[in-house]
Chains A and B, each alone.
Chain A
Amino acid sequence: MAHPTAARWVTAERLREPKIIHSVLDLIGDTPLIEIRKIAEGISPGVKIFAKLEGFNPGGSVKDRPALKMIQEGIKSGKLAPGKIIIDSTSGNTGIALAMIGRVLGYPVELVMPSNVSAERKRIIDAYGAKVTYSDPLEGSDGAIRLCREILHKEPEKYFKPDQYFNPMNPQSHYETTGPEIYRQTNGQITHFIAGIGTSGTIMGTGRYLKEKNPKIRVIAVEPDDALHGLEGLKHMATSIVPGIYQESELDEKFPAATDAAYAMVYRLSQEEGILVGQSSGAAMHATLQIARKLRSGVLVTVFPDFGDKYLTTNLWVGWRDRMAVGNLQFSI
């Protein structure tokens, strides 16, 4: 019998044959790539825009990928062994990923987060049974980084810290999974990769892989346009503790995103595409659309780091209908 082609194998595996999943961790990665059509109306017909829906990961965000890789590497190196507690600072999504993975692998998890993370994130992490220490909300995620270092400094032998801002396994996870997935899903046709910077793991690892496959692919990072911003999950590098994994020289360009434009795009995505996402996805889509408008041809891929259900109680949605009604939404086209 002829050996099935890779395409047939993937189709059969995914859609036809019932498949038993042995662990929720096996569901991490292989997220869908969706074409953005309505919002892209008006751009050159030679330009296609796709978004990778990382909300399909079992922990609900792109952070499942680096969290799993960092923990696997910790176990492999012996730094994480039974009796140790996993600890890290996070603005939320990495915390959810670590809490979930810790449960599956049998390690307790402690997280340090600013106390003003969304109520939904707090409840999800609580539901996984992780312990949380809250840091001063005025100090932002950098305050959580510092407090986590203090806790670790007191009892270093008690903990394993994945250290997402400095661990090369964070970008490595994207080099090994997100990058190859995108390249494959676009049949190698991708011309631009656009993603927000939080730890910078996604843009660094994915960008590195894509550049190796085709050095002409442009890698563009999206960051808040100001130190004071409302783009939860994204980092304004010039005024933050710069992550050790961040290598600005590997980027072709940085796109500054205004909070209002990103919020407006979140509303457009829910209203026009039926895709409910968070603030950082709005910023990524806004940047991608602006870049697409200047092109005659190209295949642009961006990342939607999570879905929007974790942000429904945040200011993003407070009074949004009023803002639309009074014409405060500044659409990009």
Chain B
Amino acid sequence: MSVRVRVPTPLRKFTNGADEVNAQGPNVRALVDDLETKYPGIKERICDETGKVRRFVNVYVNGDDIRFLQNLETSLKEGDNISIVPAIAGG
């Protein structure tokens, strides 16, 4: 099972510049772990030391914020679109 993950500009240094990558996992937690395996270092940018998604990072599954779903336990299915969206900078 594979889902598409859209990567924001500040995290593309981990994905060799790719703005979209494929990853696997039955839920968002497993997906983040899979991303970490493929792109080491990316997880600690998305999650804090306790494993929760950082406050200023929003993760969307098909356009819905996982904070209003089941957070990291939000389940995923083939073809889902995931977006990782940081806060806004500058002016």
Contacts and interface: CB of A to CB of B under 8 A. Distances in A.
The A interface is mostly helix, strand or loop, or mixed, namely loop
Contacts of A226: 10, 45
A199 B8 contact: no
B89 A138 contact: no
Contacts of A318: 55, 67
A57 interface: no
Interface in B1-27: 6-11, 13, 19
Given A142-B9, A228-B10, A228-B11, A92 B58 contact: no
Given A138-B83, A198-B91, A259 B9 contact: no
Interface string A229-264: 111111110011001000000000000000110010
B9 A230 contact: no
A139 interface: yes
A143 B83 CA distance: 16
Contacts of B69: none
Contacts of A199: 90-91
B85 A141 contact: no
The interface size bin for chain A is 35 or more
A315 interface: yes
Given A138-B7, A139-B9, A227-B10, A240 B90 contact: yes
Interface string B62-91: 000001000000000000000111111111
B91 A91 contact: yes
A260 B49 CA distance: 12
Contact of B89 (A164, A232, A263): A232
Contacts of A142: 9, 89-90
A198 B87 CA distance: 13
B91 A233 contact: yes
B20 to A, nearest CB: 9
A105 to B, nearest CB: 21
A91 B45 contact: no
Interface of B: 6-11, 13, 19, 45, 54-58, 67, 83-91
